[in-house]
């Protein structure tokens, strides 16, 4: 682990600079790398880039990194990406919200349980399981009869996870 | 087990010098090796290279090195003598959104005595120039022989005025990496 905060900041700043590189691959790599630099990465730099970014891979990496940083201040901006046309972006967003693990995202993920795309519904269920709040249970049960098997399995898994969390607590 | 300080510094210095190699494969490999050495002391040098680097594969190698160092448990330097110390640093974060939609985010550490340090170094160089023409060799020699000069340069570097030193030394044919290496090797 880096012990000198100043060094971490230096590396993070250098990577943030590259979020605005003209080459998408470099932006993507910078975004991905920032996800491995710990929770002191300023999320607004990532969000600002995300808002203007048009390259799919870069957007995916930015969203994933926002999940890894785990700062729930990113949630109000992230949830918008549950409603975009690109289903891969919706999946990655749901996953990131699960990784952040904040109850602030619950209502948005519950909406995503009725996404037209089965893989989005499955990941939304999984994310709700990760957040682990019992208030999601009624909505999860509602899609127990989902036509897609993966979704049904994820729902069961999520309910199990929530149950375990309360059993321990 | 961590490398001993002596060998770690030796290895870092050697790799840092080659970070500016003309062969891109060498540059990428040096970045990778600095990552593997796992010492955060390499970060300022890697940042410098990243700024100047234009080859994608080398850029990737440098970025990887950051994350590898950040997540490495060993070979962290000795806290008793930090090479980069920013006693007066205040982090200033500026985010601009241009009309083209590009967002530019910068973090600046801005010590108050930055301009002062730059003037001081420029004066020392001017004095030196009166005696001898300012070639890289002359400056390297001066760093070796004049401990006051070296200390001032180090202080300036520690104060975060890398950009200023770059502006002063680049026209003399001395890249900042080289200057840093000189200052480090002599310590």
Q: Which residues make Cβ contacts (< 8 Å) with residue A155, sequence separation at least 6?
A: A125, A140, A141, A143, A144, A146
Dihedral (CA of A124, A130, A134, A137) sign: positive
Put simply, whether B37 touches A (Cβ < 8 Å) is no
Beta bridge partners of B105: B95
pTM over 0.80: no
What is chain A's mean pLDDT, rounded? 94
**Higher model confidence: residue B121 or residue B74?**
B121
Put simply, whether A25 touches B (Cβ < 8 Å) is yes
CA distance B54 to B51: 8
Q: Are A7 and B40 within 8 A, CB to CB?
A: yes
In this prediction, residue B112 has a pLDDT band, given cuts at 50, 70 and 90, of very low
Q: If we measure between CA atoms, which residue out of B115, B121, B113 comes closest to residue B87?
A: B113
Domain boundaries along the sequence of chain B: 5-70, 114-185
Parallel, antiparallel, or unpaired for β B91-97 and B103-109? antiparallel
CA distance B63 to B57: 10
Is pLDDT of B170 > 80?
no
Is pLDDT of B87 > 50?
no
Q: Are A18 and B64 within 8 A, CB to CB?
A: no
Put simply, whether B99 touches A (Cβ < 8 Å) is no
Is pLDDT of A154 > 80?
yes
Task: Assess contact for A81 and A89: CB atoms under 8 A.
Answer: yes
In this prediction, residue B182 has a pLDDT band, given cuts at 50, 70 and 90, of confident
Of residues A25, A42, A49, nearest to B103 (C-beta):
A49
Percentage of residues in chain A having pLDDT higher than 70 = 97
Q: Are A48 and B101 within 8 A, CB to CB?
A: no
Task: Assess contact for A118 and A148: CB atoms under 8 A.
Answer: yes
Q: Are B40 and A36 within 8 A, CB to CB?
A: no
Burial of B81 from C-beta contacts in 10 A (0-12 / 13-18 / 19+): exposed
Helix (H) or strand (E) holding B30: helix B24-37
What is chain B's mean pLDDT, rounded? 77
Put simply, whether A103 touches B (Cβ < 8 Å) is no
Is pLDDT of B93 > 50?
no
Count the residues in chain A: 169
Q: How many CB pairs under 8 A join A and B?
A: 102
CA distance B75 to B16: 16
B31 token code pair: 């970045």
Q: How far is B44 from chain A (nearest CA, A)?
A: 7
Put simply, whether B73 touches A (Cβ < 8 Å) is yes
- As a three-state string, the secondary structure of chain A is CCCCHHHHHHHHHHHHHHCCCCCHHHHHHHHHHHCCCCCCCCHHHHHHHHHHCCCHHHHHHHHHHHHHHCCHHHHHHHHHHHCCCCHHHHHHHHHHHHHHCCHHHHHHHHHHCCCCCHHHHHHHHHHHHHHCCHHHHHHHHHHHHCCCHHHHHHHHHHHHHHHHHHHHC
Q: Determine the residue of chain B that is closest to A9 in CA distance.
A: B107
Q: If we measure between CA atoms, which residue out of A117, A116, A66, A115 comes closest to residue A95?
A: A66
In chain A, residues with a C-beta closer than 8 Å to the C-beta of B75 are: none
Is pLDDT of A35 > 70?
yes
Predicted confidence (pLDDT) per residue in A93-123, tens digit: 999 999 999 999 999 999 999 999 999 999 9
Q: How far is A120 from chain B (nearest CA, A)?
A: 30
Q: Which residues make Cβ contacts (< 8 Å) with residue B150, sequence separation at least 6?
A: B143, B144, B183, B186
For the structural domain made of B5-70, what CATH number should be given? 1.25.10.10
Q: What is the per-residue pLDDT for B75? A: 60
Q: What is the ipTM of this complex?
A: 0.86
**Higher model confidence: residue A38 or residue B25?**
B25
Q: If we measure between CA atoms, which residue out of A67, A68, A93 comes closest to residue A80?
A: A93
Q: Are B63 and A29 within 8 A, CB to CB?
A: yes
3-state secondary structure of B99: coil
Task: Assess contact for A130 and A98: CB atoms under 8 A.
Answer: yes
Put simply, whether B5 touches A (Cβ < 8 Å) is no
Task: Please name the residue that has the structure tokens 């600002």.
Answer: A48
Predicted confidence (pLDDT) per residue in B150-168, tens digit: 887 877 777 666 767 777 7
Q: What is the per-residue pLDDT for B184? A: 72
Predicted confidence (pLDDT) per residue in B54-75, tens digit: 999 999 999 999 999 999 865 6
A:73-92 residues touching chain B, CB 8 A cutoff: none
Put simply, whether A33 touches B (Cβ < 8 Å) is yes
Predicted confidence (pLDDT) per residue in B22-39, tens digit: 999 999 999 999 999 999
């Amino acid at each position: 682990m880096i012990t000198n905060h100043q060094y971490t900041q230096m590396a993070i700043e250098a990577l943030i600079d590259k979020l605005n590189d003209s080459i998408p691959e470099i932006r993507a790599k910078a975004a991905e790398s920032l996800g491995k630099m710990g929770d002191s990465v300023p999320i607004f730099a990532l969000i600002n880039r995300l808002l203007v970014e048009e390259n799919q891979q870069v957007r995916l990496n930015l969203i994933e990194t926002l999940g890894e940083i785990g700062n729930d201040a990113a949630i109000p901006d992230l949830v918008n990406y549950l409603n975009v046309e690109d289903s891969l972006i919706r999946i990655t967003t749901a996953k990131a919200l699960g990784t952040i693990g904040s109850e602030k995202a619950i209502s948005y993920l519950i909406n995503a349980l009725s996404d037209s795309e089965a893989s989005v519904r499955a990941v939304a269920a999984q994310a709700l399981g990760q957040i682990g709040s019992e208030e999601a249970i009624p909505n999860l049960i509602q899609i127990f009869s989902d036509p897609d098997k993966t979704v049904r399995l994820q729902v069961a898994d999520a309910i199990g996870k929530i149950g375990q969390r309360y059993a321990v607590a | 087990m961590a490398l001993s300080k002596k060998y770690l510094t030796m290895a870092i210095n050697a790799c840092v010098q080659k970070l500016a190699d003309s062969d891109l494969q060498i540059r990428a490999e040096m970045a990778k090796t600095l990552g593997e050495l796992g010492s955060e002391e390499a970060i300022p040098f890697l940042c410098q290279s990243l700024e100047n680097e234009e080859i994608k594969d080398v850029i990737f190698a440098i970025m990887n090195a950051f994350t590898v160092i950040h997540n490495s448990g060993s070979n962290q330097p000795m806290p008793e003598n930090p090479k980069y110390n920013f006693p007066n640093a205040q982090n200033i974060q500026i985010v601009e959104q241009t009309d083209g939609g590009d967002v530019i985010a910068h973090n600046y550490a801005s010590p108050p005595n930055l301009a002062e340090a730059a003037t001081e170094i420029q004066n020392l160089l001017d004095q030196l120039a009166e005696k001898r023409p300012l070639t890289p060799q002359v400056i390297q020699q001066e760093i070796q022989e004049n401990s006051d000069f070296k200390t001032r340069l180090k202080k300036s570097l520690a104060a975060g005025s890398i950009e200023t030193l770059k502006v002063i030394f680049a026209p003399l044919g001395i890249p900042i990496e080289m200057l840093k290496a000189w200052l480090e090797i002599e310590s």
